[in-house]
Amino acid sequence: MKKILIAAMLLVLNAAVFAQQPTPPKTHLKVGDPAPDFTLIDTSRKQVKLSDFKGKKNVVLAFYVLAFTGG
């Protein structure tokens, strides 16, 4: 009985966590579309644009939702 109660509590908690997930932003992009140009700060605190690498290097964009945020 105790195991069933714990399992039920975990299911409810899990459902509550997933219910709080934000909805992804609306976009016109589709799988395979080129990424729009954007600017970020690199580890040397310099601004780097995606277009800086066009025709020079391959770029992989990886998104880790909530990674390193404690959320």
For 11-68, the pLDDT digits (tens) are: 766 665 566 666 767 778 888 888 889 998 888 999 999 999 888 988 887 777 777 7
The C-alpha angle with vertex 47 and arms to 43 and 50, in degrees rounded to 5, equals 100
pTM: 0.46
pLDDT, residue 51, reads: 92
If one compares 70 and 53, the residue with the highest pLDDT of the two is: 53
Helices vs strands, H then E, count in the chain = 1, 2
Q: Cα(first)–Cα(last) distance of the chain, in Å?
A: 32
**Contact 17/9 with Cβ under 8 angstroms?**
no
pLDDT, residue 1, reads: 67
Pairing of β 39-41 and β 47-49: antiparallel
